[in-house]
């Protein structure tokens, strides 16, 4: 299981890469491994407003359908257009090619609520 140190994590198993006032968001290696083969991804439109803790998309696998939750409040500024056509990328490259959306956050204090790699690893070990 991979937990890149440069990322932040949510308790709902999303990863977050903070770059200036924009965050990239995807699902973690643990999440994709738990879901199994991913067959469908639904993402928001560019310009959509998202709210921390609220669902912004859906991932469907052979095992389950799961909502994807926004780690921050803000505006979607970019969407990974490849994922709807190639959802299996979430299984093969969850931290690189499998990024889902980029969000310009409006409430920077929400970043303080995210977990670092060590805390996320500990969370996984408890599950």
Q: What is the pLDDT of residue 79?
A: 98
Q: What is the pLDDT of residue 12?
A: 95
Distance CA 117, CA 55 (A): 23
**8 Å CB contact between 79 and 44:** yes
Token readout for 59 is 């991932």
Is the per-residue pLDDT at 127 higher than 90?
A: no
Q: What is the pLDDT of residue 120?
A: 97
Lowest mean pLDDT among 1-5, 9-13, 17-21, 69-73: 1-5
Indicate the domain borders of the chain. 8-109
First to last CA, the chain: 14
CATH of domain 8-109: 2.40.50.100
Residue in 110, 88, 83, 102 with CA at minimum distance from that of residue 25: 102
Mean pLDDT of the chain: 96
Is the per-residue pLDDT at 1 higher than 90?
A: no
Average pLDDT over residues 89-93: 97
Token readout for 36 is 């199994």
Q: Given its phi and psi angles, is residue 35 left (phi above 0), alpha (psi -120 to 50 degrees) or beta?
A: alpha
- Band of residue 66 on the pLDDT scale cut at 50, 70, 90: very high
- Band of residue 124 on the pLDDT scale cut at 50, 70, 90: very high
Distance CA 1, CA 7 (A): 14
Average pLDDT over residues 54-59: 97
3-state helix, strand, coil in the chain (%, to 5): 20, 35, 45
Spatial neighbors of 49 by CB under 8 A, at least 6 apart, are 74, 75, 76
């Amino acid at each position: 299981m991979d937990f890149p140190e440069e990322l932040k994590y949510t308790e709902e198993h999303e990863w977050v890469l903070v770059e200036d006032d924009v965050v990239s968001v995807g699902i973690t290696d643990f999440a994709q491994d738990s879901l199994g083969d991913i067959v469908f991804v639904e993402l928001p439109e560019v310009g959509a407003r998202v709210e921390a803790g609220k669902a912004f998309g859906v991932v469907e696998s052979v095992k389950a359908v799961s909502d994807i939750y926004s780690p921050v409040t803000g505006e979607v500024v970019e969407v990974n257009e490849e994922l709807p056509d190639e959802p299996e990328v979430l299984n093969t490259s969850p931290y690189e090619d499998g990024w889902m959306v980029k969000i310009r956050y409006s409430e920077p204090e929400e970043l303080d609520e995210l977990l670092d790699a060590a805390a996320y690893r500990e969370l996984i070990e408890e599950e």
